[in-house]
Structure 1
């Protein structure tokens, strides 16, 4: 016959409470102090980790930031030529687009029927098709 675990736990708790009531107050205080010391010794010291690891990492981050701050203006002066080239490429791409109706030459819109006929009778694209 196996004993009931709940019954065993209740009996152990009752014995613990009875023994703690009969304990001398000075002995109880010494036990609490010893318990606090053991728990404090078991905890790792967080400030030691911070000073050993985070301090060098922070110094490296500051050094990297200072390097980037100094290097950035030099890079901007050198990159002026590629920006001009990209602006020229953008201007060339704008030429490929049709002009706006407000800024276009009005004579361009006079013979729209001719341009429709030209698009419909375009022989150069038909000759390349199989």
Structure 2
């Protein structure tokens, strides 16, 4: 620190001492009470939050684990209930695979892409 900083610090300390001695006792008491309240709140808040968040976090973790593990067991079908579609019925709605389709469809793929491009431009007109 240089000498100007030291002189400034001495002047600030003197002003603080003078101001603290000229405060009336009621205001000084209120300031001390406000300071104590603020210090108590500052030290109590993190502990209070931790006491609440730890059980809540543990409960959330247990709930998540239960949801991930729990799976309903399959129910047997009664005779009157409709059953799921068989694989044969599902395949009727799907296009044929490459091994069952006409090989001629795969010979001119460029033609089909050209047709699709020109068909969309015709539809815009």
TM-score range, shorter chain: 0.3 to 0.5
Larger relative contact order (Cα-Cα within 8 Å, sequence gap ≥ 6) = 2
Normalised TM-score (structure 2)? 0.36
Query: Normalized against structure 1, the TM-score is what?
Result: 0.35
Higher helix share: 1
Q: Which has the higher Rg, Structure 1 or Structure 2?
A: 1
